[in-house]
């Protein structure tokens, strides 16, 4: 039996899907978290008769009309794949809004069971819903559910109703007929009028609200401050600073200390097991290449877990949806909207789902621009680089992470402005978002989310990063004659000879060393590789000092080994953050951009942006700190002038074509 979960955005579909199937799909207290359908089997405890039950979680939709692509996923599935039963999840705190979609689902002839979800919140508000009356009015079973609860959640009753209805072969009786019968706009509007009249009658009959909508609730009062157009910004900055402080300075290093102790222990045990008998090249491959390289990356896992735990709490509380509202007006000015912020916030975890989330944006230019700019947000893979450089060069200052986060947003805003000028598309869009209610974030949900990310991080470290570090270790051990390079001549290695020509390009950016060039290149495979490759190239087993309980206790020592200034380190950091993301994220961009012209333009733009920002950071920083310009200024200036000149040319061309098309429109009028 095929069961579809359908409902409005943020009605709790994925939470219910997880509760029914036992899976752990990402949930969020805002709309637009799910953009693709997901499938799973009903777990044994909810399927005592062991039926063949497959549940499909669909993206949220307000109607069966093709407004956005995630709605079309829902519409296409429900209409074309004909599920046996539809579970329509209705947010019981707002049934008047939910029933529009319900009445459309009832028209399809497929049996519908309504899950009146979030009933705990309805009870808390003192509102009541006459469930039997609602069931009579809609001519389908209505089951009260609380999918966030592990017991007494109504899910067993729900599945029982689903199985009974699915086996009965009864056809659903429609309430209003519009989807199937209406063919013109007028007919749709006529049907919609009937639909709204019906909904109003039902809501008046079945719902008793304690709090009238005119009264200001605590939520409204909180939003007046948190989502305020000016106050909202310093609040956002303070919260992100707090998140980075907790994860990178206060709590994260405590866990990192224990974790790195284990990695150290493993390293020492393997080293003593190998002893003196083993060839030093072979021993180095295992110790420095694999254990050291992978360990250097994994050492940052506790910091990342604490950061994601804090972000998961914020997301679950409903705060991040307010961020979209606060930033909307800035994004609107550059041709985007608050809708673009959602993929960017998702992209803070990983760029790939962030880029995929752009498909909820209807306007093509906005969608492509967002997909192109989302990787500028510091994703989880970039966090070890931030943590490493903040620790080594900036005394664990949490402002480094915070400033990189906000620099990412500023770069996105500037880039969006440039892209708008290049495309010559000045169309505007309006952002309407249903704000989720504030709630106490669930520690359990945050912990599950973090454990999933940690599992993913360890898998990545044990696969892509392990292979890359082994290859890097081999390439830096041998020269082109396949002889082991002399200890005092690492620049003769295969790796050095490949990376050195690239390193020349980085002299104006302050890090013209082959090791940094090699690390930047392996970073395109996975950004964590930057840390792993630096560890392998500089033979630093781990970056976290266990003795001193600090992210990088021996920061002076490590920075001396690196041989670059703090300004150059900052430049390297921004270069890695603002150049193109890993290949997997570029692959996701290719899928969402649906145009090779846009894809190559995006990659070129990101490369130019990363190079330009790194050049400015290094040269201006060096001028401020030393009073003179940095090395390679003239060469770098020429390169940046070419980049800026080309972008300016494209912007001019775009503006001209926009003027021409505007002129043609006025002539037509």
Partner 1 sequence: MSTVDFIVLAIVAALVALAINKIIKDKKKGVKCSGCSGSSGCCESSECSDKQLPN
Could you list the residues that contact partner 1 (CB under 8 A)? Answer: 1-2, 23-26, 36, 38-41, 52, 54, 56, 81, 274, 277-279, 282-283, 285-286, 289-290, 346, 349-350, 352-353, 356, 380-381, 452-453, 456-464, 466-467, 470, 526, 582, 584-585, 587-588
Question: Could you give the CA distance from residue 570 to residue 619 in angstroms, rounded to a whole number?
Answer: 11
Question: Could you give the CA distance from residue 332 to residue 495 in angstroms, rounded to a whole number?
Answer: 46
Nearest to 318 by CA among 433, 230, 211: 433
How many CA atoms does the CB half-sphere of 326 hold within 13 Å?
A: 20
Q: What is 224-255 written as a DSSP string?
A: HHHT-TTTHHHHHHHHHHHHHHIIIIISHHHH
Q: Select 437 or 528, whichever has its Cβ closest to partner 1.
A: 528
Taking the complex as a whole, the smallest distance from the CB of residue 77 to partner 1 amounts, in Å, to 11
Taking the complex as a whole, the smallest distance from the CB of residue 248 to partner 1 amounts, in Å, to 20
> Cβ–Cβ contacts within 10 Å for residue 435, how many?
17
Answer for the pair 30, 51: CB distance below 8 angstroms, yes or no. Answer: no
Q: Select 420 or 453, whichever has its Cβ closest to partner 1.
A: 453
How many CA atoms does the CB half-sphere of 48 hold within 13 Å?
A: 5
Task: Provide CB contacts within 8 A for 479, sequence distance 6+.
Answer: 485, 492, 493, 494, 497
Taking the complex as a whole, the smallest distance from the CB of residue 387 to partner 1 amounts, in Å, to 18
Taking the complex as a whole, the smallest distance from the CB of residue 177 to partner 1 amounts, in Å, to 27
3-state secondary structure at position 552: coil
Q: Select 242 or 584, whichever has its Cβ closest to partner 1.
A: 584
The angle formed by the CA atoms of residues 41, 46 and 52, to the nearest 5 degrees, is 40
DSSP assignment letter at 177 = -
Q: Select 85 or 513, whichever has its Cβ closest to partner 1.
A: 85
Tell me which H or E stretch contains 641: helix 633-668
Taking the complex as a whole, the smallest distance from the CB of residue 601 to partner 1 amounts, in Å, to 21
Answer for the pair 161, 115: CB distance below 8 angstroms, yes or no. Answer: no
Q: Select 118 or 460, whichever has its Cβ closest to partner 1.
A: 460
Task: Provide CB contacts within 8 A for 238, sequence distance 6+.
Answer: none
- Distance, CA of 486 to chain centre: 45
Answer for the pair 355, 592: CB distance below 8 angstroms, yes or no. Answer: yes
Taking the complex as a whole, the smallest distance from the CB of residue 613 to partner 1 amounts, in Å, to 25
Q: Select 348 or 612, whichever has its Cβ closest to partner 1.
A: 348
Q: Select 265 or 281, whichever has its Cβ closest to partner 1.
A: 281
Taking the complex as a whole, the smallest distance from the CB of residue 354 to partner 1 amounts, in Å, to 9
Q: Select 1 or 131, whichever has its Cβ closest to partner 1.
A: 1
Taking the complex as a whole, the smallest distance from the CB of residue 172 to partner 1 amounts, in Å, to 19
3-state secondary structure at position 668: helix
Taking the complex as a whole, the smallest distance from the CB of residue 522 to partner 1 amounts, in Å, to 15
Nearest to 252 by CA among 303, 217, 202, 297: 303
Taking the complex as a whole, the smallest distance from the CB of residue 319 to partner 1 amounts, in Å, to 20
DSSP assignment letter at 510 = T
Q: Select 512 or 523, whichever has its Cβ closest to partner 1.
A: 523
Q: Select 2 or 194, whichever has its Cβ closest to partner 1.
A: 2
Q: Select 13 or 421, whichever has its Cβ closest to partner 1.
A: 13
Nearest to 89 by CA among 154, 22, 180, 160: 154
Q: Select 132 or 275, whichever has its Cβ closest to partner 1.
A: 275
List, in sequence order, the alpha helices (H) in 246-285: 252-274, 280-284
Taking the complex as a whole, the smallest distance from the CB of residue 449 to partner 1 amounts, in Å, to 9
Strand partners, 7: 89
Taking the complex as a whole, the smallest distance from the CB of residue 289 to partner 1 amounts, in Å, to 8
Task: Provide CB contacts within 8 A for 469, sequence distance 6+.
Answer: 289, 290, 292, 293, 294, 529, 532, 533, 535, 536
């Amino acid at each position: 039996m095929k069961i579809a979960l359908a409902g409005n955005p943020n009605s709790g579909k994925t939470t219910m899907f997880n509760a029914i199937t036992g899976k752990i799909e990402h949930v969020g207290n805002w709309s637009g978290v799910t953009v693709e359908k997901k499938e799973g089997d009903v777990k044994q405890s909810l399927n005592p008769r062991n039926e063949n039950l497959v549940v499909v979680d669909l993206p949220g939709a307000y109607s069966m009309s093709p407004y956005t692509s995630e709605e079309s996923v829902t519409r296409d599935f429900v209409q074309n794949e004909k599920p046996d039963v539809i579970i329509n999840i209705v947010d019981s705190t707002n049934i008047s809004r939910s029933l529009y979609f319900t009445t459309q689902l009832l028209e399809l002839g497929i049996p519908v069971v309504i899950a009146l979800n979030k009933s705990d919140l309805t009870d808390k508000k003192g509102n009541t819903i006459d469930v039997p009356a609602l069931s009579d009015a809609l001519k389908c079973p209505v089951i009260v559910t609380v999918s966030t609860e592990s017991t007494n959640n109504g899910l067993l009753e729900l599945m029982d109703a689903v199985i009974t209805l699915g086996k009965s072969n009864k056809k659903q009786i429609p309430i209003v007929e519009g989807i199937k019968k209406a063919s013109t706009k007028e007919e749709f509007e006529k049907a919609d009028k009937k639909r709204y009249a019906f909904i109003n009658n039902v809501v008046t009959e079945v719902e008793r609200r304690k709090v009238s909508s005119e009264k200001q609730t605590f939520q409204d009062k909180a939003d007046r401050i948190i989502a305020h157009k000016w106050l909202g910004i310093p609040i956002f900055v303070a919260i992100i600073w707090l998140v980075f402080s907790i994860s990178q300075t206060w709590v994260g290093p405590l866990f990192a200390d224990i974790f790195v102790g284990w990695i150290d222990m493993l390293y020492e045990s393997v080293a003593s097991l190998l002893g003196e008998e083993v060839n030093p090249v072979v021993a180095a491959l295992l110790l420095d290449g694999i254990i050291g390289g992978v360990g250097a990356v994994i050492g940052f896992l506790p910091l990342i877990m604490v950061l994601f735990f804090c972000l998961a709490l914020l997301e679950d509380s409903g705060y991040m949806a307010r961020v979209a509202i606060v930033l909307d007006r800035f994004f609107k000015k550059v041709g985007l909207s608050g809708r673009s912020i959602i993929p960017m916030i998702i992209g803070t975890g990983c760029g790939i789902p962030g880029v995929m989330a752009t498909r909820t944006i209807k306007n093509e230019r906005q969608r492509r621009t967002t997909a192109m700019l989302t990787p500028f947000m510091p994703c989880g893979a970039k966090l070890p680089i931030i943590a490493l450089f903040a620790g080594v060069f900036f005394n664990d200052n949490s402002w480094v992470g915070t400033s990189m986060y906000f620099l990412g947003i500023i770069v996105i805003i500037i880039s969006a402005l440039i892209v708008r000028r290049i495309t010559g598309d000045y169309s505007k869009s309006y952002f309407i978002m249903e704000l989720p209610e504030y709630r106490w974030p669930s520690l359990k949900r945050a912990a599950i989310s973090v454990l999933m990310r940690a599992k993913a991080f360890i898998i990545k470290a044990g696969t892509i990063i392990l292979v890359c570090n082994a290859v890097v270790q081999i390439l830096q051990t041998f020269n082109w004659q396949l002889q082991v390079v002399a200890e005092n001549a690492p620049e003769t290695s295969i790796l050095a000879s490949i990376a050195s020509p690239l390193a020349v390009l980085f002299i104006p950016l302050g890090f013209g060393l082959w090791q940094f060039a090699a690390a930047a290149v392996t970073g395109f495979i996975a950004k964590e590789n930057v840390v792993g490759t630096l560890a392998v190239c500089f033979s630093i087993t781990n970056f976290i000092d266990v003795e001193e309980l600090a992210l990088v206790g021996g920061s002076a020592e490590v920075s001396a080994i690196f041989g670059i200034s703090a300004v150059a380190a900052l430049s390297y950091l921004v270069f890695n953050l603002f150049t193109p993301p890993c290949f997997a994220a570029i692959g996701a961009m290719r899928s969402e951009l649906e145009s090779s012209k846009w894809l190559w333009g995006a990659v070129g733009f990101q490369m130019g942006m990363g190079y330009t920002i790194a050049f400015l950071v290094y040269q201006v920083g060096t001028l401020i700190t030393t009073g003179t310009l940095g090395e390679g200024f003239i060469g770098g200036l020429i390169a940046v002038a070419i980049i800026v000149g080309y972008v300016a040319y494209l912007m001019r061309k775009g503006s001209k074509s926009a003027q021409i098309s505007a002129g043609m429109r006025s002539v037509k009028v």
